[in-house]
Copies of this chain bind each other. A is one copy, B any other.
Amino acid sequence: MASRSYDRGPGDLRPVNIEPGFVRTATGSCLYEQGETRVICTASASTSVPRWLEGTGRGWVTAEYAMLPASTGERKERDSKRGRPDGRSTEIQRLIGRSLRGVVDLEALPEISIYVDCDVLQADGGTRCASITGGWVALRLATRKLLEEGVIERDPLTGSVAAISCGFVDGEALCDLDYSEDSRAEVDANIVMTGDGGLVEFQATAERTVASRASLDTLLELAEPAIAKLRAAQLEACS
């Protein structure tokens, strides 16, 4: 077994650091850091909704994900140069949006939209999970502010949500893969859970091999305590 960054054991998280209020112009925000992966998460409220929700009294929560050009070693061209988000970003932002909406009561956001923007400052594996975990902090701070300002009357959040990547690398089940682990994983899973341990989304992909039902179970077991630790960090950041 190769040694892991930060001298971690197989089930350990990288150090998590959350700086709430990082972007003062946003309704809610944080700088979310998990090891060398760092994501700017902001939540912006607006009083218009997508057309299909107009007149329904319900609101909307959606996410956008982008990597800053210098976030990986090699410069990544901006999406606006090619005229559209790339396929990977599209796939990721749909996952973030679904995960966050999993803990939102849209009835409590009367025709209010909240955009959660996740801009990756540094990418070292697990950016989509970091975006969900940090995005929830931004969303929590934003909805609290909307409550305080009387824009909304009751809390739209029904709970918290966080995400962690787990996978098999060289046959061993590991939690919180960094880039070097992720790029050689045989099975790679992204697990999204609520604070009380319910599964919101589970995506597992086998590369160069196939996975058994038992191996998925192993990854889910590994994820549970990690999600609990992430939840503690989220709550502390919002306290």
Chain B proximity mask over A84-99: 1 for CB below 8 Å, otherwise 0: 1101101101100010
Cβ-neighbour of A213 out of B119, B200, B220 (below 8 A): B220
Q: How far is the CB of A64 from chain B (nearest CB, A)?
A: 6
By beta carbon, the residue of chain B nearest A26 is: B70
The answer, yes or no, to whether A216 is at the interface (CB within 8 Å) is yes
Q: How many copies altogether?
A: 6
What residues of chain B lie closer than 8 Å to A90, measured between beta carbons?
Answer: 87, 90-91
Cβ-neighbour of A68 out of B23, B122, B123 (below 8 A): B23
Which of the listed residues A27, A91, A98, A194 has the most CB atoms from chain B within 10 Å of its own CB? Answer: A91
Q: How many angstroms from the CA of A230 to the CA of B16 in the assembled complex?
A: 35
By beta carbon, the residue of chain B nearest A87 is: B90
Q: How many angstroms from the CA of A78 to the CA of B201 in the assembled complex?
A: 27
What residues of chain B lie closer than 8 Å to A204, measured between beta carbons?
Answer: 199, 201-203
Q: How far is the CB of A202 from chain B (nearest CB, A)?
A: 5
What residues of chain B lie closer than 8 Å to A42, measured between beta carbons?
Answer: 68-70
Q: Is the CB of B75 within 8 A of A84?
A: no
The answer, yes or no, to whether A17 is at the interface (CB within 8 Å) is no
Q: How many angstroms from the CA of A130 to the CA of B85 in the assembled complex?
A: 26
Which of the listed residues A29, A74, A90, A209 has the most CB atoms from chain B within 10 Å of its own CB? Answer: A90
Q: Is the CB of B68 within 8 A of A119?
A: yes
